[in-house]
Structure formats: structure tokens, C-alpha cells
Structure 1
């Protein structure tokens, strides 16, 4: 019985479990906060009603970026903070994050060249850069990035940001939190939280298990799109008055994936006539990712977020303004939509709503910290600020530690000779792949690279004592072996084929429908076996 199952097996008839802080929400903010607090020595429990990164945190544009377009809204503080975080993150997990160069074709009908140059100058200099190169102008008639574009785009600008596997970033934070003592409970809802002067008595429910009582000194509400609903529903203050003083705007951002539109390794940022921008990004070797939209979500159910035909048409039309080869809805092989929980600032334009975060303290009795807004690039800083705030509210301040710390599997330099440990993060990764193949010459090279990207130095846990391809077990699907699926189930909280195919990886894009079903069936059987073992 693993940690999650042993905790769930207890029920309300026993003494409540004790922790310092209960974190509600297993997205990037919740897992980042749990990691930071656990690393400071607090006893932490995190509950997530679904899978880790099941919602917003696996549905981003997958960029570590300062937010170039936010400069037009004078969000200089947010951009500076995000720019500074880019390089901190790129160094912390170079297997799932790496530098990416962006090309902005110049359309004189959109923004004048001087305005773009001024914006990029600010972007280059608002924060210190060590890893990422600065911006420059390019002649698209000669640069490889000009080849897929319409001939009228003759000039462009190139600048740097970063790429991230967003869902794996969440899992890496959860792994690090667990390694530092946190308990991570997936498929577990906090259905009630009763507050008194000394702490919170919380009721956690997981499907197929009796309710569980937990006693916490403080709660962090990091429920993302459900943060407001948690305050209005589950969280009960000592005096009975609702804790919800703010409102969220739920804004849907949708993306489409089409077959690869270009051969080079740059991404594009396209300016649209409505003053918005979209990205076209190399994705999963064989595809191009295009997004995003900003659409106010009707109703208050974050699960209702689904791409609309209008959004598909919009993304196809705007990308086709630039690419020589037009994109149509028939080209779309996959879509996804994320619901962003943005603080309601009464702005009429969803694109103009701030992406910065706010930490709201509720200190009338036992502490409660609510996390509002935020973006994936600033999650570490948000988590650090949140942990500082919780420490202050508990009158138990403890030093921060995450800046400069590697995430789970991100310590690639530990596998390299001393003289190579100061290489740039992306160069470290290439040397890391070579080192894997040197230590395991029998391992298929393509599989070694995929596992290196997904697991970093934790590939040693995936491989275990394997000494040949046969030791990896049955190939459940092409390139998907039993040993990897067992690792994901036993170490990374994966329970379903969806968890494996669309969050722990994007193998779903590469496998046939029958192969996806084979993975689903294997995971179903393995999960059933775990449940039966736990029952005994």
C-alpha cells in the first residue's frame, strides 16, 4: 500500500490526521507551495480532487515567458518578475524546460517597427539575462523562419523565451514536495473545512474510501478556478460569514495542434488585427501548436471549458494570415482548452485582465491564505511568497530555499564530469542523453531521449536493474513498456490512461486509438490490482 492509499484507508472514526498546512489544489501553484513549505520543514498535506495538473496547469501554451504583450498594458512589474524567473526555472529542470527563439514577422498594418524595437529593448533589459540571448532584426527572405511564411513578410524580429512541459512541471513539484515529507493525495476533495481559533478541522473524501478528518494549523486555498467556490462552500469561518470577498473571471484559452508546419526549431508570434497575438510553436517533433484564445467562460463550472468551432476558425484564420500553406479546421488533430482563474478587475477585455497574482490573507481566526490568479512562469516566486505569508501568519518564519534548487530529476550536472557542469542548461541536457547511452548502450536511442526529457536523472528509477530491452517488460503500445507504466503508477500518481497519455506524457498524440486503449486497459488492470492489495 503506497502513501496515498494508506492515508485514504483511515476514516473519521480514528483520531484526525495532524498537519501544519493543508494545501487545497494540485495544480502548479498548489504543488509549488507544498514543495516550498515542505522544504522549510513544515508538515504539509495536499489534496487534489482529480489528477495532478488535470485542469488549467496542463492546458497552457507551455511557455516560460515574460509576457511580451503585457508591456502594452503597462504590466512592467509582472513582466520584470516573469523575466527574472525564466532563467531560474530553465536552470532548475533543463530536461523539461529549454530556451526557445521566437520570430515576429513584421506587419506594418499592425504595430510600427519602432514600437516593436522599443518593446523588445525593454524585454531584453528589464531583468538580468545569463542563458538567453537578446533580440535582433532578421531578413525573412534569407532566414530559415521566412520560408514557410507568405512572401509579403520580408522583415522580422527574433527574441528569446523558454518552453516548458507544463503538466510534468506540476508532477516534479509534487515529487519534490513528497521527498521533503509532504503527503500528496490525488482524487481527494476537501468537502468541508471548519475553522476555530486554534486551527481547521477538514473533511477529505476520496471515491471508494470513507471520509477522512484532518486537523491543520492553516489552509492554503490554491484551488485555481475553484478557489472562489471553495471559500463560498467548503470553508466555514468561525463566525459564519462567507470568506469570499473577491470574484474570479473564468477565461478560456484554447489551442489547436496541426501537423508540422515548418522544419526549423524557432517558434512564431503573430500579431492579429484585433490587437491580440497567437503563437505557433514546434510541438512533439511532428506537430505545430497554435494558440491561444481569450474567451469568457459562460457559467461558473470550470469543467465546462471546451474549444468552440469559433475558436478553431479564429486560430486557423489568424495563423493562415502568415503561413503560405493555409490551415483549415480539417487539419486539426487535437485541441485542448484551459480555464484561467483571473481576478475580476471589471475590464471588458479578457485579454487585458492582469495575469499577476494576489495572495489574500484571512487571519480572523486560524490562518487561511487564498491564491488568486498567477501564471506558470511565476509559480516559484508565488510559492515562495505564499510560504513566507503562511509562516508569518503562524508566527513561524522559516527561510526560503527554492531559488537555485533543482526540481526532481533536474540535477543533470550530477551525471556529468566536473568540467561540463557549467555548460548552459540545454547543452547539459545533450550531454546527459549521451551519458545515458554510455551507461546503458543497449537502450533504444529514441526511447533514451524521450525518457531523458520526461524524467531527467529519475530515469535511474525507471530503468531500475534493467540490463536489456527485454527487461523493460512487455511493449503495451509502440515504445511504451510495462516498466515505465509501473513507474508512473507507483511513483507519479498516475491511475488512468488519460493520466499517462495526456499529462505525464503526450504519447496520445503519437499512438493509434487501439494503442491508446491498450495503455488504458493496462492502467485499469494495474490500478485494480493496487486497490485489491490495499484492501488486504
Structure 2
């Protein structure tokens, strides 16, 4: 990294909002540097419920504008990344004592019609005594409702935005912290430091504070700035259990405390259950689930399923801190808005600072677009928006054509096990050919570290996706860690991968190879 280099934009934060802003800015022709103190998606952006959704329950709080915006973005993102984002049908069993059926029907009608919907089927009522989703449920549930939303591999969504930003000219530095920044003569002068202790200076015409849970701390400590807005830190925890049902629908369960809990098919063999909403006051990097939260999620499930779930059956859990837009009048954390606020500090003659407060994964692209519209106006660089119709890397597939693409890909690499071609197709889309490289057999993929994990993929993740260690590979670039945990091989696998990274050197990424397996 060349110390003293000048950029148009310095983005601080490698979560979904930061990489989305970096991608949009690079695509508009700005020179961009993004720094992230840990790995991409190391915290909040890999600890979500994995949904691209409008937020059905936000209608109860009158958040019609937010829900409409999120529903519009749901459609846009399904088109942009059909390999990592897919439609998912949700079943809501009706519990009359919580919400009357007419209220649910009215909410679902609004949900279907607040925004134009082309890719997803609408909602309808179902007889749970006849529908496959009724089989695991207690016999007291006779009727329910089904509606559509989307599932997303959240950490890969972050990486793909970062990759697109990089390929459009942005520089991304992970494991690099902003130590301090001052502005003078219309320029930000920033001091950055790597985890190895190396420090260097860069300069930028504008800066974005997209530090998520650290947005306020960064403003006060590193930038010496006060902000008009703030965030309330809310912990959301999830548990993962062996698969609780065999159909492909997800559930949305209502609770007596007016919260909802999802139960979602996950990684073929598991069920993902979440989330909680608890005020959090600790270090966002050290968040973890509590035994009480685990019991709460199990009890929420047990109100509905025939076979009770116990905490002893939980095979993995995770927690994240959501930096929700501060509102002291909102009361309970679950009532806090999931909308965002962009705060632009742009005094005459001073380099602008844009800080991001709040937001949710579904609206990241729109947030980035609005951020760049403001910055380009302030910088007097009238550069047009472009991301609304642009696929993410590997996503140049028809929105409803993933199965056709996957079939072509499997035929092209028939020597690969079907389970591996499916995982590659979902994780990398049309970029999967880069993972395989010149290999023409399983042996050509190099050392096998675990079932379905070969050296060729590690090289790709190291050279192209900023992976530096086993944690990056097993828990963010993939969820192979969950399968290794279940098999009792996680610790030796992690040691072997870390040893491989220590012994190898990152190479310069090659230009993307074209997809040749037939029309996606």
C-alpha cells in the first residue's frame, strides 16, 4: 500500500453498507479505498436471520414506507444474485388469541401489493391438516397463511459486493483499522494501521463512516466529531438444530410477547431458529448467545411443534449486534425501526463526512445509492446511479434460471460430485469456473482438507475473496464449519487450513473466466 495516496472516497467499515457504498462509488468512477478492522462481514452482516424481506411485522408499527422500499429492493436483489438469494415460502400458523385472522389477511394483502411483484407468488390461506407444513405442527393448528420472501447467504452477499467494487477499481484493505483522521484544506488526512502493526497515511476528498455498531465510537474517538443521530445496539441471537421438518417451507411463529421467531431450512441438514431482541451494552466484537436466549427460542418453537425441542439439541448458535437507528421513545428493542439515516457533515470548504445509522441487509443497495447521490452532489461530481440493474459477481443468470444454470454447470463438470457442483453453483454462480480453474478431475483440485473442500477453493478464496484464515473460510465464505462441527473434525480442519494459509502466498487475481456451460 502506497502511503500518502489520494482517493476520492475513504469508506470505513466492511459490512454490507460499507461494501455496498464502495461498490456504487467505484462503479460511478470514483477512486475508492475501503478499510475494515477485521474480516469482511466479520460481525453484524454475517449474523443475520439470512432473509431478504420486506418485514411483514413492521406493518404493525406503521412502517409502510420502509416496508415498500424493502419489498422493492427484494425484487431487485433477487435479480442481481439468484445464486445466493432465492425465493422462500413462509408458513404462519394461525393462533387466534394473538392476532385475528382478518388482521393477518389485511397485512398480507398490503405486503403483496405495496410494491410491484414479478418474481414471487402472493399470499394465501392454507389448511394445515392438508398442507405438508402442517405435519410437524401441533394438532391444535388447523389453518394458516403462506407468503413469499427471500433467503440470502448474508456473508457472501458482502463478499460479492466487495469483489465487484474491487473489479471496478476500488482498493479494499481488511485487517486494517482507521486510527485517526483530520480534515484540512478540503481533504481528509487519515492514519490507518494493519494488524501486523504497520501504519500509513492516506488522503481522501470525502469519507464514509459505515462502521455499524462502532459508528458513534468512530465518530467521537477517531474523527473527533459529534453526530446528530445515534444507534441503539440490539443483540439478535440464533440457534441451529438438526433438521426439524422435511419440506422446503419456512415458518414464522407469533409469540405472546408480540415478537416473532423464524424456523428456516438451513444447510440441507439443519434448521435455523431466531431471533431474539435484547438491548446490548458490551463490546460488539464479543457478543454471544446466553442460556436464557436459547431457552426462549426453544420455548417459542415448542408452542407450535409436536415434538419438543430442548437446548441440548442445539448444535450451533451465533449472535450479532444490530446498530438500529436510535429512538429513545421506541421502548422495547423489537419496536425500533429498521430504517436508516444518512448524516452528511459538509461544511463549506471542508471535506464531507457521511455517517450511516441503522439499516437492514435488504435495503443496503438503496442506502448506498442514496449515499452516493448525496456525496456526488456535495463533491460536484454529477455521476449517475447504476446498481439497480447490475448483477453481482456470478449472478449473470436469469432470475428464474438458476436450476437451468446449475444443470448446465453439472454437465460441464460431470466428474465433480453432484453435491459439490450444487454448492459451487450456489456459492459462486457463474464464477464457479474460476474455483475449478484448469482442473479436469478431483485430483486436479489439489489436497482434500475435508469432504468437498479442496485446495483449489482455498486458493480462490485467498487470492480473490480476501480470506486469510480458517475462520474466514469455514464460517463466512462458506458454512463448512457447521458440517465439520457436527462431524467432530472442526479443530483439526481449522488447524490444517490455518497452516496452509501460513505456508502460501497470495497471488494477483486473474480476470474472470467466461461461463461456457450453456446459456444461464
Give your verdict on TM over 0.5. Answer: yes
Measured in 2, the distance between the counterparts of 1:483 and 1:272 equals: 46
Which of 145, 151, 154 lines up with 1:157 in the alignment?
145
Q: Which structure 2 residues correspond to residues 180-219 of structure 1 after superposition, within 5 A?
A: 180-219=168-207
- Deviation sequence 1:312-350 (CA, Å, 0-9, x none): 110000110001011110011111111000122112110
The alignment partner of 1:510 has SS state of: helix
For 2:489 and 2:252, the matched residues in 1 are separated by 35
- Choose from 391, 400, 403 the match for 1:406: 391
**Deviation by residue 1:379-405 (Cα, 9 ceiling, x = unmatched):** 110111111111111111200000111
- Structure 1 residues 532, 173: closer, same or farther in 2, change over 3 A? closer
RMSD: 1.4
Counterparts of 1:450-461 in structure 2 under 5 Å? 450-461=423-434
Q: Report the 3-state secondary structure (helix = DSSP H, G, I; strand = E; otherwise coil) of the residue aligned with 2:489.
A: helix
Give the deviation of 1:412 after TM superposition: 2.4
Distance 1:524 1:117, change over 3 A: same
Quick one: distance in 2 between partners of 1:477 and 1:531? 21
Matched, 1:247 2:267: no
Matched, 1:376 2:361: yes
User: What residue ranges of structure 1 are gaps of 5+ in the alignment?
Assistant: 1-6, 237-241, 414-424
What is the DSSP-based 3-state SS (H/G/I as helix, E as strand, rest coil) of the residue aligned with 2:499? helix
Where 2:387 maps in the other structure, the secondary structure is: coil
CA deviation profile, 1:266-310 (whole Å, cap 9, x unmatched): 0000000001101000000001101001000034x2123211111
Alpha carbons 2:8, 2:206 under 8 Å: kept: yes
- Is the CA contact (8 Å cut-off) linking 1:495 and 1:523 kept in structure 2? no
Distance 1:251 1:370 in 2: 19
Q: Secondary structure at the match of 2:238?
A: strand
Contact 1:23 1:30 in 2 (8 A): yes
1:45 aligns with 2:33: yes
Shift of 1:147: 0.1
For the residues of structure 1 that align with 2:132 and 2:506, how far apart are their CA atoms? 56
Distance in 2 (CA, whole Å) between partners of 1:437 and 1:304 is 41
Distance 1:261 1:160, change over 3 A: same
For each residue in 1:497-522, what CA deviation from the matched residue of structure 2 results, as whole angstroms up to 9, or x when unmatched?
11111100111111147633344234
- Partner residue in 2 for 1:272: 255
- Specify the alignment match of 1:293 in structure 2: 276
Residue of structure 1 in register with 2:480 after alignment: 507
Describe how 1:455-494 pairs up with structure 2 within 5 A.
Answer: 455-494=428-467
Q: Distance in 1 between matches of 2:457 and 2:111?
A: 41
Alignment equivalent of 2:298, drawn from 313, 316, 320:
316
Equivalent position of 1:179 in the other structure: 167
In the other structure, the counterpart of 1:430 is 403
- Poorly superposed stretches of 4+, deviation over 6 Å: 531-534
Give the match for residue 520 of structure 1.
494
Over residues 403-443 of structure 1, what are the superposed CA-to-partner deviations in whole Å (9 max), with x where a residue is unaligned? 11100110125xxxxxxxxxxx24x1111111112212211
Distance, in Å, in 2 between the alignment partners of 1:102 and 1:254 is 20
1:529 pairs with one of 498, 503, 508: 503
Secondary structure, counterpart of 2:271 in structure 1 = strand
- For residues 251-271 of structure 1, the C-alpha deviation after alignment (integer angstroms, 9 at most, x for no partner) is 000001011010000000000
How far 1:245 moved relative to its partner? 3.0
> Residue in 1 aligned with 2:266?
283
Give the TM-score of the pair, scaled to structure 1: 0.92
In the other structure, the counterpart of 1:390 is: 375
Checking the alignment, whether the CA contact within 8 Å between 1:27 and 1:56 is kept in structure 2 is: yes
Contact 2:229 2:343 in 1 (8 A): no
Counterpart CA distance in 1 for 2:32 and 2:84 is 26
2:118 counterpart SS class: coil
How many residues align structurally? 504
